[in-house]
Structure 1
Amino acid sequence: MNSSIGELTELIQPPSVRRDKDWASAEHALGIRLPADYKELIETYGGSNWDDYLYVLEPGCPNDNYDLIEWEDQQAEALEGLWEFEKKPAELEDEGVRVIPWATTDNGECLYWLIRPGRDPESWTVMVNEARGERWEHFPHTCTRFLASALTGDLRSNILSSRFPLPVHEFRQLHVM
């Protein structure tokens, strides 16, 4: 078990039923190999809502609104249109760099993996984009380290809600709507 997943399981008891995924199909659809810590997060918690605010996206999520592959398609198109009017963050200027969403919030902020060409998925870091705005933040953490650090209060964002995390954590797995 990855140390960040271990920290998450100490904070929030995982559901009793683990979700098995067809990772090969998901990775084929995305055209990338996903980080092992993310796969472990999904197999442990599934697509999920944390502290009534942050939604972790899942490939083939039972709730279609939080399907990782659908979000990637929509966000890739939206960002291409956005770059016509707004300046890209410095982290995205280099040739071949891209972002793929792995979480969102109830306010519409989006959390992305920053993917640089030739980098192993285990070294991907997190970019946060404000809802309906051009502010971005970069965090040198994997997605699970970001989530665990945000929930313990060790990581603070100027974009994410000041009410996140909650004093008493809440969790729910996403189901068919």
Structure 2
Amino acid sequence: MWIDSLKTLMPPHSGAGDAVDWGSVEGSWGVEFPSDYKNFVTLYGEGGVDGYLSIFLPQSHTQGAIPPLRGMEIETRNAERVWLEEKGEVAPKIIVWGLDANSDILCWRATQDDADEWPVLVWNQDDAQWSDYPCGMVEFLVRIFRADFDECPLGDLRLWGNASAKFLHRPEEQRLRAAGLDPWTGEPDPCAGMFG
């Protein structure tokens, strides 16, 4: 199972993981999310990998309320805009689950009824092209960490072949920053408190 391989390569830290009301979220988005992604959210939650890759949670929209847009919603709109600009046509149903520091966009091509069949779709900013990967999100991450594609799907090699990637749940990253520490090194952050 891919999630077990991911836990070996990138162990979740204590306190990681998010509880999501999937019924409400999926009703709001009009789709069921892939089961591997739901397992990832339970174990890891929303957060970052090695200060390079951000992984998002879907936000639920409740009756009549329009909450401020967050990562997944904003980046899905951005991905649809990039698709339109690059291809000159409206994007197929895509949902963004991750974004890296190189502005690569990691999505699902959510056009099949069974979410577990959605391939990963990547916009590689450096190559200015979209590419499909016939695997789920967790398998995609494992294969990145094992350098198990013909070439790295991302524009930077920071995660490529990284068999000891570090994940930080968003609240833990925020806690470390508030304590004046660089969340990725644990060392004092010389810029702590300078920006807000």
TM-score range, shorter chain: 0.7 to 0.9
Aligned pair 1:174/2:182, yes or no?
no
For 2:37 and 2:153, how far apart are their aligned partners in 1? 24
For 2:95 and 2:114, how far apart are their aligned partners in 1? 14
Give the total of aligned pairs: 161
Give structure 1 stretches of 5+ with no counterpart.
Answer: 61-68
1:59-115, CA deviations, whole angstroms, 9 ceiling, x for partnerless residues?
A: 35xxxxxxxx733432444345445542169xx87xxx3110011101221100011
The residue correspondences of 1:8-157 to structure 2 (distance < 5 A) are 8-17=6-15, 18-60=17-59, 70-87=70-87, 97-117=92-112, 119-131=113-125, 134-155=128-149, 156-157=151-152
| Contact 1:125–1:141 under 8 Å retained in 2 | yes
Deviation for aligned residue 1:52: 2.6
| Contact 2:47–2:167 under 8 Å retained in 1 | yes
For 2:57 and 2:84, how far apart are their aligned partners in 1? 29
For 2:12 and 2:85, how far apart are their aligned partners in 1? 42
For 1:6 and 1:138, how far apart are their aligned partners in 2? 24
Deviation for aligned residue 1:158: 4.5
Which has the larger displacement, 23-32 or 38-47? Answer: 23-32
State, as a whole percentage, how many aligned pairs show the same letter. 25
Structure with larger RCO (C-alpha < 8 A, sep 6+): 1
| Contact 2:145–2:163 under 8 Å retained in 1 | no
TM-score of the two chains, using structure 2 as the length reference? 0.70
| Contact 2:95–2:108 under 8 Å retained in 1 | yes
For 2:79 and 2:165, how far apart are their aligned partners in 1? 32
Q: Evaluate the alpha carbon distance shift between residue 77 and residue 10 of structure 1 in structure 2; reply closer, same or farther with a 3 A threshold.
A: closer
Q: Evaluate the alpha carbon distance shift between residue 23 and residue 7 of structure 1 in structure 2; reply closer, same or farther with a 3 A threshold.
A: same
Deviation for aligned residue 1:14: 1.5
Q: Evaluate the alpha carbon distance shift between residue 73 and residue 87 of structure 1 in structure 2; reply closer, same or farther with a 3 A threshold.
A: same
TM-score of the two chains, using structure 1 as the length reference? 0.77
Give structure 2 stretches of 5+ with no counterpart.
Answer: 60-68, 175-196
Across the aligned residues of Structure 1 and Structure 2, the Cα RMSD in angstroms comes to 2.6
For 2:11 and 2:153, how far apart are their aligned partners in 1? 28
